[in-house]
Amino acid sequence: METKINIKTTNSCALKNPLHGIVNSLPGVYGVEADMFSGVIKFNHTNEVSAIEIEEAVRSAGYEIIKDSFAEIANEWDTPQRVKMVKDFVTEVRSHIRFSGEDIIVDLGCGTGLVGLELLDEVKFCNFIDTSASMLDALESKLSYAQLERSAILKGSLMDYTGSEIDKIIAHNSMHHIEDINALIERAKRTLKPGGVFIVADILEEDGSFHYPEVVPHNGFNTTKLANLFESIGFKILINRIYGKQIKKDKEYQKFIIIAKNIEL
Ligand SMILES: C[S@@+](CC[C@H](N)C(=O)[O-])C[C@H]1O[C@@H](n2cnc3c(N)ncnc32)[C@H](O)[C@@H]1O
């Protein structure tokens, strides 16, 4: 599993590169790249060690890790309500587009992989991408050997994915956590094959109560503005509709789906 840890850096920390040796010495860890200027440590690891254990080793060496806000809920994420919400979303997606045994897909902001796992049996390969080590550990513990063979787990953002062979990117409830949507869609354009699609489901613009008291980059989205942004970057909007609602703390939030196709400009 490819993983990335973000640490807080200081000037003195940037002068040397001690973390490379610390992470590299852990069992099952290989391919370590530690950039002490940006505070990003990338590595691969086998099942001999979990991402959480690696983070603990980094913390014990005196480094502060930038917080994983999903750490406390990762193991309880798959509630019957969330599982149903994802099944309803996948049913909605299937009513608009087909998946094929040749498809290579990305489940972006996959969390515990609820969306990708619904689709894994009918596609060729799924890349699960998420910034949260704990959500990805929960996903990894659910994957059977056969499922592991047809999937990859990447801890990071779409910016860390360098391939360009993707047929479908699916982002369910993750886009409002991503700061720079413009940069994300531009990267998606380069990641998708011509004719590939970006499928987004999220909540409509709201007053900030959805995550309160936590602050997230976007309080939902204005779908007209989001669709215009997709078009300006070289996508054709195939679907833009409200398809359901999500109830949180007794309040209803409307859910939209946008399916945008990567076209030649
Ligand atoms: C609300 S959860 C949704 C998880 C999953 N898609 C689902 O529907 O169950 C949002 C997820 O987005 C992830 N996330 C936040 N920022 C991200 C980024 N820049 N790139 C990739 N994933 C991100 C979080 O770690 C979290 O797992």
| Ligand 1, pocket-test mutation among 177, 185, 253, most atoms within 8 A of CB | 177
Residue 129 resides in a domain: yes
Query: Of 37-46, 80-89, 93-102, 218-227, which gets the smallest average pLDDT?
Result: 37-46
Q: Which domain holds residue 21?
A: 2-60
- The answer, yes or no, to whether residue 136 has pLDDT greater than 80, is yes
**Please, are residues 10 and 38 in contact by the beta-carbon 8 Å criterion?**
no
Q: In terms of domains, do 56 and 85 share one?
A: no
Q: In terms of domains, do 35 and 79 share one?
A: no
Q: In terms of domains, do 211 and 114 share one?
A: yes
Q: In the predicted model, what is the mean pLDDT of residues 53-76? A: 86
Reported as a single tens digit per residue, the pLDDT across 220-236 is: 999 999 999 999 999 99
User: Confidence band (pLDDT; 50, 70, 90) for 79?
Assistant: very high
Report the candidate in 122, 9, 134 with the shortest Cα–Cα distance to residue 62.
9
* CATH number of the CATH domain containing 7: 3.30.70
Strand order, beta sheet including 235-248: 29-35, 40-45, 2-6, 151-155, 125-130, 104-108, 166-172, 192-203, 251-262, 235-248
- The answer, yes or no, to whether residue 11 has pLDDT greater than 60, is no
Percentage of the chain lying above the pLDDT 90 cut: 68
Domain count, the chain: 2
Q: In terms of domains, do 52 and 168 share one?
A: no
Beta bridge partners of 104: 125
Residue 28 resides in a domain: yes
Residue 69 resides in a domain: no
Report the separation in Å between the CA atom of 5 and the middle of ligand 1, taken as the mean of its atom positions: 16
* CATH number of the CATH domain containing 219: 3.40.50.150
Q: In terms of domains, do 248 and 163 share one?
A: yes
User: Confidence band (pLDDT; 50, 70, 90) for 80?
Assistant: very high
pLDDT for residue 166: 98
User: Confidence band (pLDDT; 50, 70, 90) for 207?
Assistant: very high
Residue 65 resides in a domain: no
The residue whose CA is least distant from atom 15 of ligand 1 is 177
Report the separation in Å between the CA atom of 12 and the middle of ligand 1, taken as the mean of its atom positions: 32
CA distance 146 to 209: 41
Phi and psi at residue 50, to the nearest 5°: -95, 160
Q: In terms of domains, do 140 and 12 share one?
A: no
Report the separation in Å between the CA atom of 35 and the middle of ligand 1, taken as the mean of its atom positions: 24
Characterise 250 by phi-psi region: left (phi > 0), alpha (psi -120 to 50), beta (else): left
Query: What DSSP assignment string belongs to 68-118?
Result: -TTTTTGGG---HHHHHHHHHHHHHHHTT----TT-EEEEET-TTTHHHHH
The residue whose CA is least distant from atom 23 of ligand 1 is 109
Q: In the predicted model, what is the mean pLDDT of residues 101-109? A: 98
- The answer, yes or no, to whether residue 1 has pLDDT greater than 80, is no
Residue 201 resides in a domain: yes
CA distance 118 to 83: 10
Task: Determine the atom of ligand 1 nearest the C-alpha atom of 86.
Answer: 8
pLDDT for residue 150: 96
- The answer, yes or no, to whether residue 19 has pLDDT greater than 90, is no
Q: In terms of domains, do 33 and 80 share one?
A: no
Residue 68 resides in a domain: no
pLDDT for residue 15: 52
Give residue ranges with CB within 6 A of ligand 1. 70, 82, 86, 108-111, 114-115, 129-132, 135, 157, 172-174, 177-178
Distance, CA of 15 to chain centre: 32
The residue whose CA is least distant from atom 12 of ligand 1 is 109
Residue type, 94: R
User: Confidence band (pLDDT; 50, 70, 90) for 10?
Assistant: low
Residue 93 resides in a domain: yes
Q: In terms of domains, do 116 and 197 share one?
A: yes
Q: In terms of domains, do 43 and 86 share one?
A: no
